[in-house]
Structure formats: C-alpha cells, structure tokens
Amino acid sequence: MADLIKPHGSDHLMQLLLEGDARQVELARAETLRKVTISSRETGDLIMLGIGGFTPLTGFMDKADWEGVCTDMKLSSGVFWPIPITLSADADVAEAITDGEEVALVTADGEVMATMRVDEKYAIDRDFECANVFRTTDGEHPGVKMVMDQKAVNLGGPVKVLSEGIFPVEFAGLYQRPAESRAEFAKRGWKTISALQLRNPMHRSHEYLAKIAIEVGDGLYIHQLVGGLKPGDIPADVRVKCIEALVDNYFIKDRVVQGGYPLDMRYAGPREGLLHGVFRQNFGCTHMIIGRDHAGVGNYYGPFDAQNIWNEIPAGALEIQMLPIDWTFWCYKCGGMISMKTCPHGKEDRLFISGSALRKALSEGEEIPAEFSRPEVLAILREYYAGLGDKDRK
C-alpha cells in the first residue's frame, strides 16, 4: 500500500481499537471504573477514533484543541482539523472525576465502548462553538441542536476503544475500517480514488458526479453514512438497497467500491465538507467530490460554500484534493445530465434534481419524472414510502 496517500497528519493510521486478549483484559478493567454515558454522536466519533478514521487524533479534544479547531481549524500541534471531536458530561459527574482518572464510556443501553483517561475538564461555550462551526446559533439547525443538547462539561483525554457497536453486524459487507478500504484499493492497483459522500439514495445528479470522477481517476469510493440522521431522512438500509441496484445496473463494478462509516450527520455544511475530506484521506482517497450544498441543511449555507471554504484553507492543510462539480441537472434539449459549465440552454429546459426534492415528492405521493432517478431506485423508494404512516412521511 506504499503507493496510496498517507493518512492525515501521520505516517500511519492511529487505530485505537483493542482486539483479542488486550480487549478482554481492558473490558474486565472497565467494569471496575466509573461509568460515563455517551451520546449517539459521541459513540460514532469514538468508533472512528478506534478504526483510525480520525487519524491523527488519539482521543477526545482538550480545551486548547477545541478552541483552536473552533477558531482557526487547527489542533494545538498545528495539524489542520475542521470540527471539534468532544465528549461531554453532566457537571456533577465531571466534578466527581479526578484529574488523570480513567473512566468507562458506555452507551445509553449500557454497552461498554471504551476506556478513557480524563486529562482535562472544561466548560462548554455552546454559542461560541456553534457560531464558528455552523455559522449560526439557531436551535432549529440540527447540528446546532446537537451542541446545545450536550452536557455542561467537556472531558478531554486519550481513549482505548473496545467496541464498534452495531455497525459490523447490522451493516456487514458495507461497514469498513480505513485499513480495509486501503487494502481493497491497493489490491485493485488504484492510485487516484474519488470519494462520493452520501446520506441520500443516489439520484441522477449523484450518478453524474460519480461517473465524472471515474472518468478522471482510477476508481470511485461510494462512502455512505450509516450513523444517525435527522427526522425525514431516508434510513441507511434503504439507501444501501438503492445504491446496490444502481451500481449493479449502471456502473462497471470493477471501478466502484462501496463502504459505510459510523458517524452521525452534523449538517455543518462547509466545515463538514472539510471533515469529510480529512477522514476520506484516512480511508485512502486522493480526491473528495464536493458538489452543490455539500453537507448542508435548510438555507443556512450557500450552494457552493463547501467548495469556497476548501479554496480558502492554507496550502498543504490537506493532502486530499477537492474535485469540485458545478450545479448539475437534466437538460431536455441536451438530452441528458449536464452542468452549468456545459449547458447553453435556459431554465425552462432544465429539471433540477436534489435529494430533498425527491424525498418531498415521494412522501407526498407525487409522480416522479423518469429523468429524476433510475427506475430500479424509484421502485425501492416507493416501496419504502408506501410502508410509512402519514406522520413518518413528513
């Protein structure tokens, strides 16, 4: 794998997941430690720390790293990092923990996920974090709400990860560690690999972006989020079926690898696009596709803010490169998918395609134009929506 891109900020993956005898010993020790309950978002972050997806991080951020990331997108070491990776606890729980104490991190249902040495405790300035990271403090923004719902005190320190949660079983064959995706790319002899971020089923615009990437590189990594989403988003198992149907029928399989990663979506727009680049480099990708409204929600970000911020970061901050794609749509006069850079026709000839528009049309039982998505994909989505009650459609 010597020809693959290096992990971010390191010569090797920082894999904090214990296995075998070491894991069993640490699990037994965890039973003797104080328990700290962690959220869904923190669980996903912890698993990414475990599998090396968040290389070069070795745990949850201390105050200096948190402040540096919020203000300048830099760790105290100087390494680029765009979004805080933090763990919070109630004030009374944090007060009881002594400096340097080791604690067990557990999910709400009691699964021991990791042990952690608490090196620092610090109060959270939620408005400061949200204003910098999300560009808003509006509680209607789902990512802002996550931060506002955090507990009062952040705990910083290194972790030893003991579990990957539900993901290896529930998403067997899709969920991947960075070491596994890198091994697959090396086996195929790929050197230039583009990552396609997905939290929606692939519609024709996604397909168009994907095929552009394949044309200019060795292969495509369709890397979809299998962690938590906001209400109304289509669940991961349905998306997996849609993508498999599309790849099976409309792609050369030797040019595509599918993978899943365990994070909850933050909807942080530009900053999240940069985080997507960071961990896709750790998974072995050389390019990150950034299209319209990448990782956005509502009207909080401009359609190409995620491309603009990528062009504003210091040279050398990331080794992975952005593959920017303009606004794409179906043009009836051109007779296919096309972009603003190449289509000379007017709005009256164009059908604009987006995941939110597709979800809205499906939930309201509207007729979907054939140009919007492939028939195999639409069949799966119609079946899913037909099984929902009126409340769940919204």
**Is 382 a catalytic site residue?**
no
Of the candidates 147, 141, 145, the one whose C-alpha atom is nearest the C-alpha of residue 129 is 147
- What is the C-alpha to C-alpha distance for residues 121 and 239, in angstroms, rounded to an integer? 39
Task: Map residue 88 onto helix, strand or coil.
Answer: strand
DSSP type of residue 368: P
Name the catalytic one among 154, 200, 204, 282. 200
Number of Cβ within 10 Å of residue 325's Cβ equals 20
Task: Map residue 27 onto helix, strand or coil.
Answer: helix
**Is 200 a catalytic site residue?**
yes
Of the candidates 156, 133, 159, 158, the one whose C-alpha atom is nearest the C-alpha of residue 144 is 133
> What does 284-330 look like in DSSP terms, one character per residue?
T-SEEEE-TTTT--TTSS-TTHHHHHHHHSPTTS-SSEEEE---EEE
Whose tokens are 């030893």? That residue is 160
Q: H or E element: which one contains 248?
A: helix 236-250
Residue 40 · residue 266 · CB < 8 Å:
no
The C-alpha torsion from 21 through 27 and 30 to 36, rounded to 10°, is 130
Name the catalytic one among 199, 239, 280, 359. 199
Q: Residue 48 corresponds to which amino acid?
A: M
Task: Map residue 341 onto helix, strand or coil.
Answer: coil
Catalytic residues: 199-200
